[in-house]
Chain A
Amino acid sequence: MKRITQFKTRISLSVLIVLLTIGLSSCYYDYGLATSDYDAILTHWDKNTDFGKYKTFFVLDTVFHLIGENDEDNITRKYDEMILQSIRHNFGAKGYKEMALDTNDFPNKLPDFFVTVSIGKSTYTGGGWYYPPYWGPGWGWYPGYPGYWPGGGYYYNYETGTIFVDFLDKNDIDFGNPDSYVQPKWSGIMEGLVSNESSNSQRILNGIDRMFYQSPVLVAGGETK
């Protein structure tokens, strides 16, 4: 009888240890992330393009706002000029020369490539009551912010802003058909959380710099700068 009691106690102890450990497993280190930690920069380029053959560029002076047909444009234009300046500076630092567009001689005298800038906003809202809120493979990209409360419910509601910078070869553009689609030779995309923080300008500038830093193919005439 004593042996059975002893056996039961040890089994109970083992089960308790397992449960405690599983409970502790939810205790990941809290990294204390700042808003800027949610900034992500993606670049992609045509792998068969020699970016060294391009010499001159022109940045369109309008930032396109990506909104639905009937939606109100509530994207601020506060950062437009700063973004365009930063992009001009970065292409220049890669060895490309900015060229003014001569409207009197259009389209006979064109830069080698055009740069367009677009901005979009997305709102993510959701919630649930399960743990952990994993999003399985096949669902594509899904937000993981702002996290979860282990064993309970979670809720999120946040807005992201995305800046698209596209590098368009002049030979791919059909100037007679403004609605034609052009596959960019290179694209830089920055996405981050929209906030009212004073650090927004710096986050945008850092993000644009990183687009160029992580694009080793963007070198004019084979020069490394």
Chain B
Amino acid sequence: MRKLKVLIIAIFTLTATTFATDWSTNFSYNISFGAGNISDYIGRPSWLGFSLDFKGQEKTNLTWGFSFAWNSFYEKTGEIVYFDGDKRDGSLSGTQLRYLNVFPMMVNVGYVFGKYYSEIKPFVSAYIGTSYYSRQTDIGVYRFTNYAWGFTVAPELGLKIPTSRTSNFVISGRWYNTFGVDDSFISDETNRNYVTINIGFDFAY
């Protein structure tokens, strides 16, 4: 009986909390800049990408939610690739089309500074989750592919500029740090880093 009471109270508390939460969806266009070994593989910034964040905001200005993104790097290059084998070394050249598609999937917590809907509100967020790395390299008539998952953390700083009572123009910078991505074609190191500039809108429900 005691357990039932606890369960009922928990359900009511959770329901009340959910209804007290303001939900919003943020959709942003992303420009991405590879760093470290991503930049060595594809030096060109990515102009192809988006992020989609679902966030709930408490009265305490604390936010939480989940997020998806897609960032696509690609470049054409004629760089010679040298490789070391156990018994034989070698080199490979030809026009290369390099593609790297990253799909981060994360949960987030954050804090929005400011009280009123009409004011410009800075915010900070922290993301944690996983990223799927899909890499494709075309050389000549050959295609080399690799698919890998990694553990990702990403801090974010941004500004919300109100456009109506229920929507904001949002600009932010997010720094993705992924660990454990196994793809020696890009690098023997397994960490991957890149920064995105995100420009979009959020809509409150």
Contact = CB atoms under 8 A, between A and B. Distances in A.
B141 A40 contact: yes
A214 B82 CA distance: 9
A136 B48 contact: no
A95 interface: no
A130 interface: no
B80 A37 contact: no
Interface stretch (B9-17, B85-93, B172-180): B85-93
Nearest to B90: A44
A137 B145 contact: yes
Interface stretch (A23-31, A81-89, A98-106): A23-31
Interface of A: 6-7, 10, 13-14, 17-18, 21, 24-25, 28-29, 31, 33, 36-48, 124, 134-137, 141-145, 158, 160, 191-193, 210, 214-215, 217
Interface of B: 25, 27, 48, 50, 52, 70, 72, 74, 76, 80, 82, 84-85, 87-95, 97, 99, 136, 138-147, 203, 205
A45 B82 CA distance: 12
A17 B203 CA distance: 13
Given A10-B25, A25-B48, A25-B72, A37 B141 contact: no
A134 B138 CA distance: 12
A180 B93 CA distance: 31
Nearest to A192: B140
Contacts of B203: 10, 13-14
B74 to A, nearest CB: 6
6 contacts: A10-B205, A41-B94, A44-B90, A45-B90, A46-B87, A214-B82
A17 B48 CA distance: 15
Contact of A25 (B70, B76, B95, B143): B70
Secondary structure type dominating chain B contacts: strand
Contact of A18 (B52, B74, B84, B92): B52
Given A124-B141, A135-B143, A145-B141, A47 B85 contact: yes
A143 B52 contact: no
A42 B90 contact: yes
Nearest to A24: B48
A42 B140 CA distance: 10
Given A192-B140, A193-B141, 7 more contacts: A33-B95, A39-B94, A46-B88, A137-B146, A141-B143, A160-B141, A191-B140
Contact of A38 (B76, B95, B136, B147): B95
A40 B145 contact: no
Contacts of A43: 90-92
A137 B147 contact: yes
Max chain B Cβ within 10 angstroms of own Cβ: one of A10, A31, A160: A10
B142 A143 contact: yes
B145 A135 contact: yes
A45 B93 contact: no
Contacts of A160: 141
